[in-house]
Structure 1
Amino acid sequence: MTHDLVPRPLNPAPATPDMVWPNGAKSALFVGFDVDAETAWIGNNPSNVDRMVTTSHGGYDARVGIAKIVQLMDELAIKATFFIPGWTALAHPAQCESILKAGHEIGHHGYLHKLPERDKLDAAFEEIDLGYEALQKVLGVRPIGYRAPSGENFPELLGYLAKSGMRYSSSFRDDILPYRHAGGADHAGLVEIPVNFAFDDWNFGMTSRTSSRPIFGRDAVLQMWIDEFEATHAWGGVTTLVLHPQVSGRPMRWYLLREFLLYVQQKSDVWIATGEQIADHYAAQEKARGV
């Protein structure tokens, strides 16, 4: 595959418009969970399927993490978006059904959490199709929101998602406000609800026996999240959380997340919303502007 390295903006999405958040809110908070379970450990490294201790990191989701996260969302009366790989839904149907029964949005997160690669289009598209099929089979849901497994995307995949009925993505790292991806002749671009890498709990709470990456404690992570949230709030942006039950469902990190969410809830001018609600609001703003 020949790579086009001509200097240009590599994301051709139009500039982000001004946003007015609902009900006088100054900023928004999007609580999103990636329910990877074992796919985080086998999707890009299939040989791990025979390493039971390695995959037990992900097995924590079904045994403990999902239930504890659903419990926390219920306690705080927060509706979140849970991005679920199709394999996870098939492997752990009861736990995934508990998410749906609690009233949370179900998002698409691939099938086996494989990294989408532009030189393997058929495999990338199959991940989308199999993910849809599994979520429909287990939960009776066809999601309208997508978070890229391993956090990657490319133009053909964005187009495939849009033409399959997807309405928004939450994967890119290049803004603090939602925006719309460039579309094609036969489809509108997805709304992007961008991510701040600082709010990905995996970076601070997950390692493995074969990794030298350190784990960060409560004080470091909580203060960073509060500081980053306050700055995003001051700029009127969206604070997008990329959380994992196998990380934030662990005992200390559960209390860390709870403390952060309670901090945000103390403010009267933050709109806490699902991805679908944010995407709908963005589309309504477009309509009001005559776009």
Structure 2
Amino acid sequence: MTYDLTPRPLNPADKAPAMTWPNGARSALFIGFDVDAETAWIGNNPSNIDRMVTTSHGGYDARVGIGKILELMEELSLKATFFTPGWTALAHAEVCEGILKAGHEIGHHGYLHKMPDREKLDETFEEIDRGFEALEKIFGIRPVGYRAPSGENFPELLAYLAKSGIRYSSSFRDDILPYRHRSAGDRPGVVEIPVNFAFDDWNFGMSSRTSPRPLFGRDTVLPLWIEEFEATHAWGGVTTLVLHPQVSGRPMRWHILRDFLRHVQSKDDVWIATGAQITDHFETLEKERKASSV
């Protein structure tokens, strides 16, 4: 592949429009969980299928983590979006069905959590198709939201997502407000609900024997999350969480997450919403702006 390194904005999307949040809220909180389970360990490294201790990190999701996260959401009366790989839904059908039964949104997160690769378009599109098939089989629904496995994307994939019925993505890290992607031919693409990398719990709470790295506890994580949320709130943005049951479903980290969410709930001007709800609101405002400009 020849790479076009011409100086230009690498994301051609228009600047995010001004946002008015519902019910007079100053900012929004989007609680998103990536239910990777074992796919986090085998999707990009299939040889790990024969390393049961390595994959047991992901096995924690179904055995403990998902259940504890659902308990927390019920305790706090919150709804979240659970981005679920198709493989996870098939391998752990019963526990995954509990997510939908509890009233949460199901999002698309690939099939085997393979990182999308522009040089392997057929394989990348197959991940999307197989993911849809598995999620429809287990949940009986076709998701409208997508979070890229390993957090990567490119123009052809964005276009394929829109063609497949995806209405929003939550993967990019280039804004604090939702915006709409632009596809080839200047066609409108999916809505992006951008991510703040500071709210990815994997950065602070996951390590392994084969790639050890430091773990960070309450005194590091909770102040960071609170201060980053407070600044985003003051700027009127959306605080998007990238959480994993195999991380935040662990005992100490479960309590960090609970304390952070309680802090957010202590305010009366934060709209806590699922990805689909945020997309609905964005598109309503979009239609209103178009109507007023006629």
Q: Which runs of 5+ in 1 are unaligned?
A: none
Distance (Å, rounded) in 2 between the aligned partners of 1:204 and 1:38: 19
What amino acid maps onto 2:95 in structure 1? Q
The secondary structure found in structure 2 opposite 1:165 is coil
Distance (Å, rounded) in 1 between the aligned partners of 2:196 and 2:135: 27
Distance (Å, rounded) in 1 between the aligned partners of 2:253 and 2:217: 9
Distance (Å, rounded) in 1 between the aligned partners of 2:99 and 2:142: 15
Q: Is the 8 A contact 1:21 1:271 kept in 2?
A: yes
**Per-residue deviation, 1:153:** 0.2
1:239 aligned residue = 239
**Taking structure 1 as the reference length, what is the TM-score of the superposition?**
0.99
Is 2:82 the partner of 1:82? yes
Q: Is the 8 A contact 2:155 2:183 kept in 1?
A: no
**Per-residue deviation, 1:185:** 4.7
How many aligned residue pairs are there? 291
Q: Is the 8 A contact 1:225 1:260 kept in 2?
A: yes
Runs of 4+ in 1 over 6 A off after TM superposition: none
Say which is worse superposed, 158-167 or 204-213, in terms of deviation: 204-213
**Per-residue deviation, 1:59:** 0.0
**Per-residue deviation, 1:243:** 0.1
Distance (Å, rounded) in 2 between the aligned partners of 1:11 and 1:185: 14
Identity of aligned residues (%): 78
Q: Is the 8 A contact 1:29 1:239 kept in 2?
A: yes
The secondary structure found in structure 2 opposite 1:189 is strand
1:101 aligned residue = 101
The secondary structure found in structure 2 opposite 1:284 is helix
Distance (Å, rounded) in 2 between the aligned partners of 1:243 and 1:212: 20
Map 1:124-203 to 2 at 5 A: 124-185=124-185, 188-203=188-203
Q: Is the 8 A contact 2:79 2:103 kept in 1?
A: yes
Q: Which runs of 5+ in 2 are unaligned?
A: none
What amino acid maps onto 2:2 in structure 1? T
Tell me how large the CA RMSD over aligned residues is. 0.9
Q: Is the 8 A contact 2:84 2:107 kept in 1?
A: yes
2:19 aligned residue = 19
**Per-residue deviation, 1:184:** 3.9
Distance (Å, rounded) in 2 between the aligned partners of 1:187 and 1:9: 17
**Taking structure 2 as the reference length, what is the TM-score of the superposition?**
0.98
**Per-residue deviation, 1:210:** 1.4
Distance (Å, rounded) in 1 between the aligned partners of 2:185 and 2:242: 32
Q: Please give the per-residue CA displacement for 1:174-197, whole angstroms capped at 9, x wherever unaligned.
A: 000000000345963000000000
Distance (Å, rounded) in 2 between the aligned partners of 1:172 and 1:181: 11
2:256 aligned residue = 256
Distance (Å, rounded) in 1 between the aligned partners of 2:187 and 2:60: 39
Q: Is the 8 A contact 2:39 2:87 kept in 1?
A: yes
Distance (Å, rounded) in 2 between the aligned partners of 1:257 and 1:58: 19
Say which is worse superposed, 237-246 or 185-194, in terms of deviation: 185-194
Q: Is the 8 A contact 2:32 2:83 kept in 1?
A: yes
Q: Is the 8 A contact 1:42 1:49 kept in 2?
A: yes
